[in-house]
């Protein structure tokens, strides 16, 4: 009975998988599934790689897919369920860091921090004025655990917060807006914090970007798929958006080359959860899920 490591993972997780489970490293043994797929009972993967349907179908005894990361859109959940395979992710432990990065990106884009840094490094000094952050109106698209963590932080900047999600969220005082277009039209900054996957693909459409308008800022710490990327790139290049902070892209690690020279855009390499503390916590939770599955076939944090 084998545990499969689908892709490279955090070194401490890789060590635990190798030492504790003699996990097979699929990315180093691409022929393994064809020969030994029927030995695998659990697969550990990342949000970025998931488990493809082809891989899943090559593992008839697979019982669990354990994701390192909160996102799991790279795994076909319906297909896994149909096969009786349970799926876990690592929710909550990364909320703080993802929310911190969203706020950092928001301030960076509006106050032009990275642009000002480049300015100084070029030997210049009299930097153009930026946009005030405190007191502005912010719209959060997707008020889940991460969206709420972002909202709580922005309350500290006296920002007026409204949101759109599939249905209104109970227990919050933020104003619910019934569509992404209506939300974008009434805010200074739109922060994308939804899950990825087909249900949210292209939610931030050209129409939403037009509604945000030339004074509006976009922050995306969710998934590149949520935004119509060509429309966003065109709007930023043509100045039909004031600026953006982006941690995620449609085709990572490929960043649209047109954005590289756009000074109003802050580009991060998908680092929202990338701190020592949070990645270790994600690793521990992934390993707890694996351990529990192998003990009693249940998960600590199953994807519902």
Give the long-range contacts of residues 294-301, CB within 8 A, separation 24 or more.
Answer: 294/3, 294/21, 294/41, 294/42, 297/63, 297/64, 297/86, 298/86, 299/64, 299/66, 299/86, 299/87, 299/88, 300/88, 301/88, 301/89, 301/90, 301/91, 301/92
Query: What CA–CA distance (Å, rounded) separates 59 from 43?
Result: 9
As a whole number of angstroms, the distance between CA 177 and CA 183 comes to: 6
Q: Is 29 a catalytic residue?
A: no
Active site includes 270? yes
Choosing from 50, 69, 105, 216, the residue that interacts with ligand DGY (CB under 6 A) is 69
Residue 94 Cβ vs ligand DGY, minimum distance, rounded to whole Å: 6
Active-site hit among 79, 83, 270, 288: 270
Please tell me the distance from the alpha carbon of residue 139 to that of residue 227, in angstroms, as a whole number: 15
Cβ nearer to ligand DGY, comparing 228 with 247: 247
Nearer to ligand DGY, 45 or 264 (CB): 45
What track of x and - describes contact with ligand DGY for positions 28 through 47 (by CB under 6 A)? Answer: -------------------x
Known active-site residue 122: no
- Here's the x/- map for ligand DGY, 238-277, by CB under 6 A: it reads as ----------------------------------xx----
Q: Which of 124, 152, 252, 297 is catalytic?
A: 252
Q: Which residue, 220 or 273, is less far from ligand DGY as judged by CB?
A: 273
- Helix then strand then coil, in percent of the chain rounded to 5, is 40, 15, 40
> Collapsing DSSP states into helix, strand and coil, what is residue 47?
coil
Q: How far is the CB of 71 from ligand DGY (least distance, A)?
A: 3
Strand positions, DSSP E, 182-293: 189-192, 217-220, 243-246, 265-267
For helices 113-121 and 95-111, give the axis angle rounded to 10 degrees: 60
| Segment near ligand DGY (CB under 6 A); pick from 65-73, 112-120, 261-269, 292-300 | 65-73
From 17, 42, 49, 71, residue interacting with ligand DGY (rule: CB under 6 A): 71
5 binds ligand DGY (CB under 6 A): no
State the catalytic residues.
223, 252, 270
- What residues line the site for ligand DGY (CB under 6 A)? 47, 69-71, 94, 272-273
């Amino acid at each position: 009975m084998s545990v499969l490591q689908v892709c490279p993972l955090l070194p401490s997780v890789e060590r635990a998988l190798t030492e504790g489970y003699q996990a097979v490293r699929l990315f180093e043994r691409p022929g393994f599934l064809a020969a030994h797929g029927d030995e695998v009972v659990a697969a550990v993967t990342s949000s970025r790689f998931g488990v493809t349907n082809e891989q899943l179908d090559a593992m008839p005894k697979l019982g669990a897919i354990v994701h390192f990361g909160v996102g799991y859109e790279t795994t076909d959940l319906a297909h896994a369920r149909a096969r009786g395979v349970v799926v876990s992710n690592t929710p909550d432990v990364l909320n703080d860091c993802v929310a911190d990065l969203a706020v950092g990106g928001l301030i960076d884009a509006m106050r032009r921090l990275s642009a000002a840094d480049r300015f100084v490094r070029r030997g210049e000094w009299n930097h153009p004025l930026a946009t005030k952050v405190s007191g502005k109106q912010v719209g959060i698209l997707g008020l889940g655990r991460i969206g709420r963590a972002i909202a709580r932080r922005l309350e500290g900047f006296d920002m007026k917060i409204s949101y759109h999600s599939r249905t209104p969220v109970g227990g919050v005082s933020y104003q619910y807006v019934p569509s992404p277009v209506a939300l974008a039209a009434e805010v200074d900054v739109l922060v994308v914090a939804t899950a990825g996957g087909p249900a949210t693909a292209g939610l931030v459409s050209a129409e939403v970007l037009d509604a945000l308008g030339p004074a509006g800022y976009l922050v995306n710490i969710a998934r590149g798929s949520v935004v119509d990327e060509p429309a966003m790139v065109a709007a930023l290049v043509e100045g039909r958006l004031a600026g953006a902070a982006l941690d995620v892209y449609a085709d990572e690690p490929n960043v649209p080359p047109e954005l590289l020279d756009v000074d109003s855009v802050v580009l991060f390499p998908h680092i929202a959860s990338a701190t020592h503390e949070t990645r270790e916590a994600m690793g521990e939770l992934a390993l707890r899920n694996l351990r529990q599955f192998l003990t009693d076939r249940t998960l600590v944090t199953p994807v519902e």
